[in-house]
Amino acid sequence: MTAPLSAVETSRMRAFHQVLGNTLLANVTSSFLWFALTFWAYLATQNVLATSIIGGSYMLLVAVFGVVFGALVDHMKKKAVMVLSSLITLSTYLGAGAIYLLFPESVLVDWGGPWFWVFAGLILVGGVVENLRNIALSTTVTLLVPSDRRDRANGLVGTVQGVAFIVTSVFSGLSIGLLGMGWTVVIAVVATASALAHLTFVSIPERGVTAANEAVTPAFTFRGVLPAIRSVPGLLALILFTTLNNLVGGVFMALMDPYGLTLFTVEAWGIVLAVTGTGFILGGALVAARGLGRNPVRTLLLVNVGVAVLGMTFAIREWWWLYALGIFVFMMLMPVAEAAEQTVIQRVVPFHTQGRVFGFAASVESAASPISAYLIGPLAQFGLIPFMRSDAGERSFGWLLGGGEARGIALAFVAASALMLLIVILAFASPQYRRLSRAYADAPPPDPADATVVPVAGAVRQPDAAP
């Protein structure tokens, strides 16, 4: 049972809820345009290779910039980080709008030409920079939320992400289907500007930050964060486990939308994603209400067992209701897994290095998805899909996957999920799992009030600001 909040804690929780609301507005906007781009690209090109390259490029950029983003979060005030994120996103969306006005859509939809990729790239960059805000939000949980409520706060973060997913799923599909890509970009520009304006009225109490001159271990490199990770037994193994899971998850990232658009129209697919996205809210709400248990590491592994079993079944027949049900359960599990990893890091890592650790985790974990996304796109397009439409494919796997237009994608789902299940079983048996579980149980919660003013080697502390 959680202890009652003091007056100061109540004020900080109020600030956290304001930040969460602003993040909802920003995430809705970036997700709206990202979903719309994916729908538009597939419908315009009818090629899963294009969507896999777009999805893989997104994760690749997250991987490249994750450590830089984490260092910025550690060396800037959290509100300043969020303002910077919104400014960059707004600029890229304005650039994408300019490209759309300058060229006819017949030129933009040519995915073999440069302007398709310039247009998509600007939208991708705007979405990637949103991860800077999300890393800042993870550290803001530590800054503003009492330690015994952080798992529930992370559940609220998952709920907000679910709400954003539902809203964008509906309106992205409807916007592409009814308004087209041009007006979709206009809506995203207006919404991003509104999020930035609202952010100016949001207050994040923070005494100050450490501006480090880390000549020995530069903060903007992997080397600068490794000491913080190595100091926690099993933490690096946790990140590597998630990395391997993301390697498998890249298959889902590249193929879930093409499979869904095979079963549904774009408008209906957007509505299906919105309805199934309620699972995201349910999963986050369950964490917010009940927490993650005494060992979030164990909870994370159990969730991944569920995801693996789900991936082997939700496309085993080309039944729309089975796929929709599977996505609902998948969405429900995702915020639990995310909250578990965040809660562990917030507990075992000192506050003044949490930004870099979250950024490092984002970089390493995200680097795996582009590899599999880039591989599975051409493999599915030129290998699995034609194979499963042939007599040989039907004889080999028809007993398992049945018949239909997208049996090649279904085969990719089953194979990737079986690999994920094997990885989770090995993780449960590893000594690193037991070490990290003990480290979490033994670690006192970090004190952000102290951490914000702890200097590192060669550091120059910024002046304190009034809370």
Query: Tell me, what CATH number does 154's domain have?
Result: 1.20.1250.20
Is the residue at 4 inside a domain? no
Q: Which residues pair with 211 in a beta bridge?
A: 460
What's the CA gap between 279 and 333, in Å, rounded? Answer: 8
Q: What is the DSSP code (8-state) at residue 3?
A: P
pLDDT on residue 373 = 65
What pLDDT does residue 370 have? 62
Q: Give a yes or no: residue 211 inside a domain.
A: no
Interior/surface letters 225-237, b for 16+ CB within 10 angstroms, e for the rest: beebbeebbbbbb
The predicted structure's pLDDT at residue 447: 58
Cα separation, 308 vs 429, whole angstroms: 17
Percent helix, strand, coil in the chain (nearest 5)? 80, 0, 20
pLDDT at 463: 35
Q: Give 10-residue mean pLDDT values along the chain (467 residues).
A: 68 84 85 83 73 73 78 84 91 92 80 82 88 84 81 78 70 82 90 89 70 47 68 78 72 80 81 80 83 86 89 88 90 84 82 78 69 72 81 82 82 88 88 86 65 39 34
Distance CA 245, CA 250 (A): 9
User: Is there a domain that residue 210 lies in?
Assistant: no
214 is a domain residue: no
C-alpha 133/C-alpha 123 separation (Å) is: 16
- Asked if residue 209 is part of any domain, the answer here is no
Could you list the residue range(s) of the whole structural domain that residue 85 is in? 9-203+220-444
| Spatial separation of the C-alpha atoms in residues 180 and 389, rounded to whole Å | 33
Give 320's DSSP letter. Answer: H
pLDDT the model gives residue 322: 92
**What Rg value do the Cα atoms of the chain yield, rounded?**
22
Residue 449's pLDDT is what? 53
Q: What is the pLDDT of residue 222?
A: 55
CB contact set of 26 (below 8 Å; sequence gap of 6+): 82, 85, 86, 89, 130, 133, 192, 195, 199
User: How far apart are the C-alpha atoms of 150 and 327, rounded to whole Å?
Assistant: 27
Angle at 337 between CA 331 and CA 338, to 5 degrees: 95
DSSP 294: S
Please tell me whether residue 211 adopts helix, strand or coil conformation. strand
Q: Which helix (H) or strand (E) holds 205?
A: none
DSSP-based three-state secondary structure for 461: strand
Q: What total number of domains does the chain contain?
A: 1
Residue 455 lies in a domain: no
Q: Would 462 be classed as within a structural domain?
A: no
Does residue 397 sit within a domain? yes
